[in-house]
Amino acid sequence: MSVEYESLIGVVERLTYHSAESGYSVARLKASGHRDLVTIVGSFPNIQAGQTLKLTGIWREHPKFGQQFQVTQYQETKPATITGIEKYLGSGLIKGVGPVTAKRIVAHFGLDTLDIIEHSIERLNEVPGIAKKRVKMIQTAWDKQKAIKEVMVFLQGHGVSTTYAVKIYKHYGDESIVTVTNNPYQLATDIYGIGFVTADAIARNLGIAPDSEYRYRAGIIHVLGEAAEDGHCFLPYMELTQKVVERLTIADHQPTPQVLTELIYMMAMDEELVMQGHRQHQFICYQLPFFSSEQNLAKRLHQLLSRPILVDKERVQAWIDKFTLATGMGLSPGQRQAVEMAARERVLILTGGPGTGKTFTTRTIVALWKAMGKSIALASPTGRAAQRLSEMTGCEAKTIHRLLEFDPKTMKFKRDLDSPLQASAIGIDEASMLDLFLAHSLLKAIPKDAQLLLVGDIDQLPSVGPGNVLRDLIASGQVPVVRLEQVFRQAQSSAIISNAHRINSGQYPTLESVSLSPRSDCLWLNAPEPEHGVQGIRELLTDVIGQLGFDPARDVQVLCPMTRGEVGTRNLNAVLQELLNPPCQGKAELFRGGMKLRVGDRVIQQVNDYNREVFNGDLGTIAAIDTEEQEVTVQFEGRFVNYDYADINELALAWAVTIHYLLQNIYIQQQQQRVFFYSWCRDISLQNLAYTTSIMTIYLVNETHTAKRN
């Protein structure tokens, strides 16, 4: 269905909300042809009461606030009436002109006021009470707002939405037109939210040739960036060239591999990327930050490993005997080896599958470090993992970002080579989540005389960011590793853990069908069609979960392999929201971008937000929606975080989430006794099932008994 765009012309009567950061605004407009004031919403850099605007957009019906005009483009025009001019000048748009001064100016010049300010501003001296200093201030402010208008008109005239136009102006200021005209592909580098595809569309609007070197260079970097989103730090040269040809080919133009080859070499000479020989490929290509981070990470590890530690082995062994006797819990040979090595190794990796005792081993190592008089720092990539680490060791644990003291203003960590951590023993849990850049930042902050323990399961999903650091460190053979393999008796009783090990060893899981009195914690529900899967989840929530002692609204998480379809996250979130958090009188609601949010909804953070200190994958609950202040408050693990309406796109409903979004947090939710539903396992690999190593009940909803094999 095509969208019908309409136009409005009117005067801004008052501003309901405006975000200086994003430009998102809600205002009331006195529009021509409309008796009542019209609510307009959109992105404006400096909207003020009194402005006369020509708007293009679409009408939308807000369930709570009624009809609104969603602005896609706008142009400011000069007000035509004495009252409009007076309101415009006195709105605060022009520094040095308030309501009183505006009234004097308009009284003196009448309808010619704006033309005089534009072309003969020195004549303002004719107005009583306006000195030369004030005239200069007014002229500066007028020129500034005029420049903003020119930039906005130019950008919108070349297919740039108002949202991006605001971001572009905030970044480049008066240089916006020059920058965009000369090299629109620079936007993909400098402006968050503008990728290569958007920059390429702007370039075509500006008439940039499809064989422009700017376009080719940006395309090469873009393809390497897409690879990074898939977790790769580099691409083989031949694969990079092939992908760039595919990406840059349009109807009437296709770049040749020869041209791209020459350009890649030029970019390497210009240090825009790095080419390096590789034993398996002729060359591999990195973006410069990836290469330098990888090299420096390896160098820093080598420096730490080259400094031996002298300890009394007999004292360590005696302490271990005393500790296990006091706790009444013995150590397996592998666990004991890990504790002994943690006393003498500068860097140690502790790994193992579910149920092999990594938690108790880590707790024992931390207790040993305490007994040795070491100052200890503990951390994990996510807040939930840090909380669990703190609970199991009895020591304070932080997220790695907080441990390294991330500064949102500079977008850098305060702790680094020049200002290392004040600790002699550092433990990092869930190390499989470490991506290349976070691992590099961490290693830079490790004091040269400190010890580092990395704990993680390489059979878990790798990090969201680029790099597979833990697996690569183990594979290198350069870092001491202890792999725990013995599954303890209490873990063997869990069908979830035993099935995870079965899958990792190439066997199918053993699953029991759903019943009101299950004997297993890993169950199967057969659903021949997608709609049966949705209905099956409904029935489980309404009929079964309560019988098992769980709260359907608090203790259930649905995982899906996809977002689309009957059993995708989009549909299931709508279904589960109505079932678990239905609308009721007095409960605030918000409609944003097709998403409905209510107080009590479970939500997930979709991007790293360093200012708010919430990160991709963090789960929270909506605690409040303030329609007056245009704010949503979300509770993350007892901490309350406020979002402007303009930033709501950072959040998504999380009654149902995709597997990759949540698997980084599943293992660390063990102590919360959550029930997991897998929706439509026909589309889930067995390997993904093995990743779910938790003690909670999992219901598998599937078409057949044959999930995909990796």
Max CA distance (Å), the chain: 96
Q: Which residue has the higher pLDDT, 288 or 80?
A: 288
Select the highest-mean-pLDDT range: 28-32, 100-104, 161-165, 578-582: 578-582
Q: Does residue 440 contact residue 434 with C-beta atoms inside 8 Å?
A: no
Check whether 673 has a pLDDT greater than 50: no
| Confidence band, pLDDT 50/70/90 cuts, at residue 321 | very high
Domain ranges of the chain: 1-77, 307-486, 495-702
Which numeric CATH code is attached to 495-702? Answer: 3.40.50.300
The candidate with the shortest Cα–Cα distance to 450, out of 363, 339, 369, 361, is 369
Check whether 701 has a pLDDT greater than 70: no
The candidate with the shortest Cα–Cα distance to 440, out of 460, 465, 407, is 465
| Confidence band, pLDDT 50/70/90 cuts, at residue 696 | very low
DSSP assignment of 248-271, as one string?
Answer: H-BTTB---HHHHHHHHHHHHHTT
* pLDDT digits 0-9 by tens, 429-456: 999 889 999 999 999 999 999 999 999 9
> What per-residue confidence (pLDDT) applies to 64?
67
> What per-residue confidence (pLDDT) applies to 354?
75
Q: Do domains 1-77 and 307-486 have the same CATH topology?
A: no
Distance CA 681, CA 692 (A): 13
Q: What is the mean pLDDT of residues 196-207?
A: 85
The candidate with the shortest Cα–Cα distance to 690, out of 239, 262, 276, 355, is 355
User: Which of these ranges, 229-243, 364-378, 412-426, 685-699, has the smallest mean pLDDT?
Assistant: 685-699
Distance CA 432, CA 416 (A): 22
Residues in CB range of 327: below 8 A, 6 or more apart:
none
Distance CA 705, CA 703 (A): 7
DSSP assignment of 438-452, as one string?
Answer: HHHHHHHTS-TT-EE
* Structure tokens, 546: 């309560």
Task: Kindly report the number of other CB atoms within 10 A of residue 540's CB atom.
Answer: 21
pLDDT above 70: percentage of residues in the chain: 86
> What per-residue confidence (pLDDT) applies to 279?
65
Residue 21 CA to chain centroid, in angstroms?
18
> What per-residue confidence (pLDDT) applies to 667?
38
Find out if CATH 3.40.50.920 is the number for domain 1-77: no
Q: Which residue has the higher pLDDT, 524 or 641?
A: 641
> What per-residue confidence (pLDDT) applies to 601?
95
> What per-residue confidence (pLDDT) applies to 143?
78
* pLDDT digits 0-9 by tens, 206-265: 888 889 999 999 999 999 998 998 889 999 999 999 999 999 998 778 999 999 999 999
pTM of the model: 0.67
| Confidence band, pLDDT 50/70/90 cuts, at residue 705 | very low
Check whether 101 has a pLDDT greater than 60: yes
What phi, psi does 634 have (nearest 5°)?
-120, 135
* pLDDT digits 0-9 by tens, 326-359: 988 889 999 999 999 999 999 999 998 877 889 8
- What's the CATH architecture for 307-486? 3-Layer(aba) Sandwich (3.40)
Distance CA 232, CA 21 (A): 32
> What per-residue confidence (pLDDT) applies to 623?
94
The candidate with the shortest Cα–Cα distance to 70, out of 60, 81, 80, 83, is 60
Distance CA 298, CA 570 (A): 42
Q: Does residue 433 contact residue 329 with C-beta atoms inside 8 Å?
A: no
Q: Which residue has the higher pLDDT, 8 or 464?
A: 8
Q: Which residue has the higher pLDDT, 613 or 480?
A: 480
- Angle at which helices 82-89 and 99-109 cross, to 10°: 140
Residues in CB range of 258: below 8 A, 6 or more apart:
none
> What per-residue confidence (pLDDT) applies to 80?
63
> What per-residue confidence (pLDDT) applies to 67?
85
The candidate with the shortest Cα–Cα distance to 276, out of 299, 295, 304, 258, is 295
> What per-residue confidence (pLDDT) applies to 393?
92
The candidate with the shortest Cα–Cα distance to 233, out of 175, 180, 263, 278, is 278
| Confidence band, pLDDT 50/70/90 cuts, at residue 43 | confident
